[in-house]
Amino acid sequence: MPTKRRGAPYREAPPTDVRECPLCDIDLTARSSTVCPRCGLWWTLARAAGERVRPTATAVDAAPTIDLPLRRGFGHEALMLLTVLAGFGIGSAFIIVTWTPIDRGPLSVMLLVLGLVSLTGLLAAMGLGTVCAVAVALEVARAVAPTRLVGDASTLRIRAWRDDSLLGGFGRTDVTVPREHVTGVFASTWPSAGTARLRLMHASGLALDLGWQESEAVVVRQGEALAAWLSAPADSAGVAQTLSRA
């Protein structure tokens, strides 16, 4: 699992672009946001992180450990549209292959042009159907096996889906971040859609987007639980384990 190189200091001033992955220490293209090709996590600037989520529980009442699944909703309307487009694309490709006129009579310029148009339509229909079918499968997979945040007294383990490409989105990443490097929890909202994304502020000054989008109420509720874990005393986990063993 990639971790931050020991002894590598973070910049004190907030970065103006994303130049390197704080977890993998590899150079990235300088942008306002980018996906690391090694760990597959999406890093963005702090100013785009959104609003800070405050814990509802006090530091005394907060749990010293956390196991937080970020289950992605199906989004029935979007899935229905993708399924219809997949069926339309694959069905159109089948019809084009079945009814193409290139072999149904004497070869002529008109039939040749019609055949080329059919070939173009075949490629477009197959491409549309395949992409939409892959997108549907990806959404189902992310709903069945959600992103999971597991934290204890010293570390936060992030088991998330990659965000680098459509096919790469089927891959999972598993990274461990020192607890003290997670400095805050933020929710980036889209009021017009009523949805939000959960982001973690890193000590490097960059925000980690977990690639999880849900309704604003669900994101804030999960963010409050994570913020409460961050506010818990670091040594409370050891006290809890000692009491449980006794």
pLDDT in single tens digits along all 246 residues of the chain: 444 444 445 545 556 677 788 888 778 776 667 888 888 888 888 776 678 888 765 544 556 788 888 877 655 556 666 677 777 777 766 766 666 555 555 555 565 566 666 667 677 777 777 887 888 888 888 888 888 999 988 899 999 888 777 777 788 889 899 999 998 899 888 777 778 888 999 988 888 888 788 888 888 888 888 888 888 776 544 433 322 222
Q: What are the two backbone dihedrals, phi and then psi, of residue 69, each rounded to the nearest 5 degrees?
A: -80, 135
Residue 16: strand, helix, or coil: coil
Predicted confidence (pLDDT) per residue in 39-63, tens digit? 888 888 877 667 888 876 554 455 6
Taking residue 186's Cβ as centre, other Cβ atoms within 10 Å add up to: 24
Same domain, 158 and 216: yes
Encoded tokens for 51 = 């609003």
Same domain, 232 and 166: yes
CATH number for the domain spanning 230: value is: 2.30.29
In a domain, 211, yes or no: yes
The residue out of 86, 116, 142 marking a domain boundary is 142
In a domain, 7, yes or no: no
> Domain range for residue 106?
76-142
Instruction: Give every CB contact of residue 91 below 8 A, 6+ residues apart in sequence.
Output: 129
Same domain, 112 and 97: yes
Same domain, 201 and 228: yes
Instruction: Give every CB contact of residue 200 below 8 A, 6+ residues apart in sequence.
Output: 182, 184, 185, 186, 207, 208, 210, 226
Residue 241 is predicted with a pLDDT of 37
Mean pLDDT of the chain: 74
In a domain, 83, yes or no: yes
Residue 157 is predicted with a pLDDT of 93
In a domain, 162, yes or no: yes
For the entire predicted model, the pTM comes to 0.68
Instruction: Give every CB contact of residue 119 below 8 A, 6+ residues apart in sequence.
Output: none
Same domain, 95 and 159: no
In a domain, 132, yes or no: yes
The residue out of 142, 159, 193 marking a domain boundary is 142
Number of domains in the chain: 2
| Dihedral sign from CA coordinates of 129, 130, 135, 136 | positive
In a domain, 185, yes or no: yes
